[in-house]
Amino acid sequence: MRKRIICGALTMLAFIQSPAHAKADGFKCPKAIAIAIQAGFTKKDLPKLDKIVYRESRCNPKSVGYNRRADGSVWSIDYGLTQINNYSWITYLRDRNIIKKSTDLLHPFTNMKAARALYNYSLQNGGDPWRQWRTSGSGSYRG
Protein backbone atom coordinates (compact mmCIF):
# COMPACT_ATOMS: atom_id res chain seq x y z
CA MET A 1 0.00 0.00 0.00
CA ARG A 2 2.83 2.39 0.90
CA LYS A 3 4.57 1.72 -2.44
CA ARG A 4 1.33 2.46 -4.30
CA ILE A 5 0.88 5.78 -2.48
CA ILE A 6 4.46 6.83 -3.20
CA CYS A 7 4.20 5.84 -6.88
CA GLY A 8 0.92 7.72 -7.14
CA ALA A 9 2.42 10.83 -5.57
CA LEU A 10 5.40 10.74 -7.92
CA THR A 11 3.20 10.37 -10.99
CA MET A 12 0.96 13.23 -9.88
CA LEU A 13 4.09 15.35 -9.35
CA ALA A 14 5.19 14.52 -12.88
CA PHE A 15 1.73 15.47 -14.11
CA ILE A 16 1.92 18.84 -12.36
CA GLN A 17 5.49 19.52 -13.54
CA SER A 18 5.58 18.50 -17.18
CA PRO A 19 8.84 18.66 -19.11
CA ALA A 20 9.51 21.79 -21.12
CA HIS A 21 10.00 19.80 -24.32
CA ALA A 22 6.34 18.70 -24.30
CA LYS A 23 5.15 22.32 -24.32
CA ALA A 24 7.69 23.19 -26.99
CA ASP A 25 6.13 20.60 -29.27
CA GLY A 26 2.84 22.50 -29.22
CA PHE A 27 0.68 19.91 -27.49
CA LYS A 28 -2.66 20.97 -26.01
CA CYS A 29 -2.19 18.55 -23.10
CA PRO A 30 1.60 18.54 -22.46
CA LYS A 31 1.35 17.06 -18.96
CA ALA A 32 -0.66 14.12 -20.25
CA ILE A 33 1.77 13.64 -23.13
CA ALA A 34 4.72 13.51 -20.73
CA ILE A 35 2.97 10.71 -18.85
CA ALA A 36 2.02 8.95 -22.08
CA ILE A 37 5.70 8.65 -22.93
CA GLN A 38 6.33 7.03 -19.54
CA ALA A 39 3.43 4.64 -20.23
CA GLY A 40 4.97 3.42 -23.50
CA PHE A 41 3.52 5.56 -26.27
CA THR A 42 5.97 6.42 -29.03
CA LYS A 43 6.79 9.84 -30.38
CA LYS A 44 4.78 9.19 -33.55
CA ASP A 45 1.69 8.40 -31.44
CA LEU A 46 1.77 11.67 -29.52
CA PRO A 47 0.05 14.11 -31.91
CA LYS A 48 -3.01 11.88 -32.29
CA LEU A 49 -3.02 10.98 -28.60
CA ASP A 50 -2.88 14.67 -27.67
CA LYS A 51 -5.95 15.33 -29.82
CA ILE A 52 -7.76 12.41 -28.22
CA VAL A 53 -6.94 13.49 -24.66
CA TYR A 54 -8.03 17.04 -25.42
CA ARG A 55 -11.27 15.92 -27.09
CA GLU A 56 -12.14 13.28 -24.49
CA SER A 57 -11.26 15.05 -21.22
CA ARG A 58 -9.96 18.54 -22.03
CA CYS A 59 -6.70 17.39 -20.36
CA ASN A 60 -8.47 16.70 -17.04
CA PRO A 61 -7.26 13.45 -15.43
CA LYS A 62 -10.29 13.40 -13.10
CA SER A 63 -12.82 13.64 -15.94
CA VAL A 64 -15.79 11.26 -15.68
CA GLY A 65 -18.39 10.82 -18.41
CA TYR A 66 -21.72 9.10 -17.91
CA ASN A 67 -23.33 7.19 -20.77
CA ARG A 68 -27.08 7.11 -20.32
CA ARG A 69 -29.98 5.11 -21.66
CA ALA A 70 -33.02 6.84 -23.14
CA ASP A 71 -34.69 6.75 -19.71
CA GLY A 72 -31.76 8.64 -18.18
CA SER A 73 -30.24 5.74 -16.24
CA VAL A 74 -26.47 5.26 -16.43
CA TRP A 75 -25.32 2.15 -18.28
CA SER A 76 -21.57 2.82 -18.33
CA ILE A 77 -18.97 5.34 -17.23
CA ASP A 78 -15.88 6.71 -19.00
CA TYR A 79 -12.86 7.58 -16.85
CA GLY A 80 -9.80 9.81 -16.96
CA LEU A 81 -7.69 11.47 -19.59
CA THR A 82 -8.62 9.09 -22.40
CA GLN A 83 -12.17 8.36 -21.14
CA ILE A 84 -11.83 4.58 -20.98
CA ASN A 85 -15.21 2.90 -20.75
CA ASN A 86 -15.74 0.66 -17.73
CA TYR A 87 -18.42 -1.52 -19.36
CA SER A 88 -16.30 -2.39 -22.39
CA TRP A 89 -12.84 -2.68 -20.84
CA ILE A 90 -12.90 -3.27 -17.08
CA THR A 91 -12.45 -7.06 -17.27
CA TYR A 92 -9.71 -6.82 -19.91
CA LEU A 93 -7.75 -4.29 -17.85
CA ARG A 94 -8.23 -6.20 -14.59
CA ASP A 95 -7.04 -9.43 -16.22
CA ARG A 96 -3.81 -7.65 -17.20
CA ASN A 97 -3.33 -6.24 -13.68
CA ILE A 98 -3.49 -2.67 -14.94
CA ILE A 99 -6.39 -1.76 -12.65
CA LYS A 100 -8.28 -3.24 -9.74
CA LYS A 101 -11.34 -1.00 -10.00
CA SER A 102 -12.69 1.48 -12.55
CA THR A 103 -11.74 4.55 -10.53
CA ASP A 104 -8.06 3.55 -10.84
CA LEU A 105 -8.40 5.02 -14.35
CA LEU A 106 -8.58 8.49 -12.78
CA HIS A 107 -4.85 8.23 -12.04
CA PRO A 108 -3.02 9.75 -15.05
CA PHE A 109 -0.28 7.10 -15.41
CA THR A 110 -2.73 4.24 -14.94
CA ASN A 111 -5.07 5.76 -17.53
CA MET A 112 -2.25 6.10 -20.06
CA LYS A 113 -1.04 2.58 -19.32
CA ALA A 114 -4.58 1.32 -19.90
CA ALA A 115 -4.88 3.37 -23.10
CA ARG A 116 -1.65 1.83 -24.34
CA ALA A 117 -3.01 -1.65 -23.56
CA LEU A 118 -6.15 -0.91 -25.60
CA TYR A 119 -4.00 0.49 -28.42
CA ASN A 120 -1.92 -2.73 -28.39
CA TYR A 121 -5.08 -4.87 -28.26
CA SER A 122 -6.35 -3.28 -31.47
CA LEU A 123 -2.99 -3.65 -33.20
CA GLN A 124 -2.75 -7.32 -32.23
CA ASN A 125 -6.23 -7.94 -33.60
CA GLY A 126 -5.48 -6.32 -36.95
CA GLY A 127 -7.39 -3.13 -36.34
CA ASP A 128 -6.88 0.58 -36.15
CA PRO A 129 -5.00 1.15 -32.87
CA TRP A 130 -7.15 4.23 -32.18
CA ARG A 131 -10.43 2.35 -32.69
CA GLN A 132 -11.55 2.81 -29.08
CA TRP A 133 -11.61 6.57 -29.60
CA ARG A 134 -13.30 6.82 -32.98
CA THR A 135 -16.02 9.37 -33.46
CA SER A 136 -19.45 7.76 -33.44
CA GLY A 137 -20.31 6.44 -36.89
CA SER A 138 -17.03 7.60 -38.46
CA GLY A 139 -15.24 4.25 -38.41
CA SER A 140 -11.98 5.96 -37.41
CA TYR A 141 -10.68 8.63 -35.12
CA ARG A 142 -11.26 12.24 -36.10
CA GLY A 143 -9.24 14.87 -34.25
Q: Evaluate whether residue 142 is within a structural domain.
A: no
In the three-class reduction of DSSP (H, G, I as helix; E, B as strand; rest coil), residue 56 is classed as helix
> Is residue 141 included in any domain, yes or no?
no
User: What's 6's domain CATH number?
Assistant: 1.10.530.10
Q: What digits encode the pLDDT tens for the residues 56-114?
A: 999 999 999 999 999 999 999 999 999 999 999 999 999 999 999 999 999 999 999 99
Write the single-letter amino acid at 16.
I
Indicate the residue type of 10: L
Q: For 43-59, what is each residue's pLDDT tens digit?
A: 999 999 999 999 999 99
Domain hosting residue 42, numbered range? 2-133
Supply the pTM of this predicted model.
Answer: 0.79
Domain membership flag for residue 49: yes
d(CA 93, CA 135): 22
- Domain assignment present for 124: yes
Per the structure, the count of domains in the chain is 1
Helices (H) and strands (E) in the chain, counts: 6, 3
